[in-house]
Amino acid sequence: MKEIILVVNAGSSSLKFKIFDLNSEAIASGQVEGIDQAPSFKAKDAQGQVIAEHQWSEAEAHNHALVLGYLIDWITETFKEYTLKACGHRVVHGGTLFDSSVLIDEKVIADIESLIPLAPLHQPHNLRVIKLMREKYPTLPQVAVFDTAFHQSMQGNATMYAIPYELYTQGVRRYGMHGTSYAYIAQKLKESYPEIANKKIVIAHIGSGASLCAIENGKSVMTTMGFTALDGVSMGTRPGGIDPGILLYLMENKGYGVDEIRDFVYYKCGVGGLSELSSNFYTLECNYETHEGAKRAFDFMMFRVAEEIARLSVSLGGLDAIVFTAGVGENSSHFREGVCAQLGYLGVRLDQAKNQQRGEEKIGASDSSIGVYAIPTNEELMIMLDTVRLAK
């Protein structure tokens, strides 16, 4: 019987999934949304056609076990000619304990649990689904793939903050995120663009969550996200780099407590707060010409990404190529044009026709001193490949 791999990305109120055969072909994908309110299930085939939908009642909210059981039953019933070989999980934080993906056992679960303080809004949801899967399907191999693992190659200054060194030895350091995406792009460059793959490259993973990474010889040298997923460039609802004095000001003068500060930095800031319109970059771009807040936030985002690209070139000692990826980076020619225009002093030039052409990956002008690319990422595929490798 043929085998399939399930890839899961669990959030607080959603569960995204993708199903691959062992030829690395995606055969279905989907998500459950609104788990905290009134859960709804939708699945699509490889062509993007809806093949299944289901709605639960409000009385069945907060029941992750119910949702997960329904998903596995649906997979078993829908793909009868296949058997489920293993499940791969995206796990946000691996700390310094994990520098690669691992087959999950009780010790791994305990280690992931110990890292909850480093990602309190993400790690518990990743763990919950892992534990539920082990309870319901104890013989099914599961693999944890960590967002932070790719960045374990960073050294010295790239990992530090100017805080008491004792805290660094206790784990308060830069970890970085989006590592699975960066690993995919590094691999893609080796396969499709070997002439630059080992050179000095900045990858801009720009979506509702956003970060950038400097790589050389396919390894992470420096990244913009830090101890948590809050640092670096602005995002949909997160501020990116922020003067910590602002948080002290809010606590001392506006009565903010820990919960209010957490809500502020995770949900009230970013382009959503700056625009006073939307945290969705597509909505901002569509309203760029007509809404002052949309233009303000979109322009700020392009400026900050250009600024971080220049900063990351210092950690590389130069720059040979820029790669845009993820939802905004892959799809917004306006965004890429705005960023590159601010890097013109470095000799960055776009081929305007190629930049506008959907699916074109090599978009730098022939006279650009730095290569420019727009390459779709595929984090689920990387999780799937690691899961197949470890769940033999």
- Residue pLDDT, tens place only, 95-146: 989 999 999 999 999 999 999 888 887 898 899 999 999 988 899 999 999 9
% of the chain residues with pLDDT over 70: 99
CATH number of residue 66's parent domain: 3.30.420.40
155, two tokens: 């050294």
Please tell me the predicted confidence (pLDDT) of residue 58: 78
Sign of CA dihedral 105, 107, 108, 113: positive
Q: What is the spatial distance between Cα 194 and Cα 177, in angstroms, rounded to a whole number?
A: 25
207-219 tens-digit pLDDT: 988 999 999 999 9
Q: Are 93 and 147 contacting, i.e. CB atoms less than 8 angstroms apart?
A: yes
Residue 328 maps to a domain:
yes
Flag whether pLDDT at 63 surpasses 80.
Answer: no
For residue range 176-189, list pLDDT tens digits in order: 999 999 999 999 99
Do 239 and 114 lie in one domain? The reply is no
d(CA 355, CA 180): 25
Active site residue 147: yes
- Asked whether residue 313 is domain-assigned, the answer is yes
pTM summary value: 0.92
Domain total for the chain?
2
- Give per-residue pLDDT as tens, 343-379: 999 999 999 999 999 999 999 999 999 999 999 999 9
**Structure confidence by residue, pLDDT tens digits, 249-304:** 999 999 999 999 999 999 999 999 999 999 999 999 999 999 999 999 999 999 99
3-state SS track over 275-344 = HCCCCCHHHHHHCCCCCHHHHHHHHHHHHHHHHHHHHHHHHHCCCCEEEEEHHHHHHCHHHHHHHHHCCH
Looking at the domain assignment, is residue 287 inside a domain? yes
Tell me 364's DSSP state.
B
User: pLDDT tens digits, residue range 7-24?
Assistant: 999 876 778 999 999 999
What is the tens place of the pLDDT at every residue in 224-241?
999 988 999 999 999 999
The residues pairing with 372 across neighbouring beta strands, listed in sequence order, are 322
Look at the block and give the residue holding tokens 């322009």.
299
Domain enclosing residue 305, as ranges? 195-379
Mean pLDDT, the chain, rounded, equals 93
Q: Please pick, among 45, 99, 147, 320, the residue that the annotation labels catalytic.
A: 147
What's the confidence (pLDDT) of residue 67? 83
Whether 317 is in a domain gets the answer yes
- Asked if the structure places residue 306 within a domain, the reply is yes
* pLDDT, position 38: 81
The predicted structure's pLDDT at residue 259: 94
Asked whether residue 62 carries a pLDDT value surpassing 80, the answer given is no
Same domain, residue pair 10 and 133: yes
SS3 40: strand
User: Are 247 and 354 contained in the same domain?
Assistant: yes
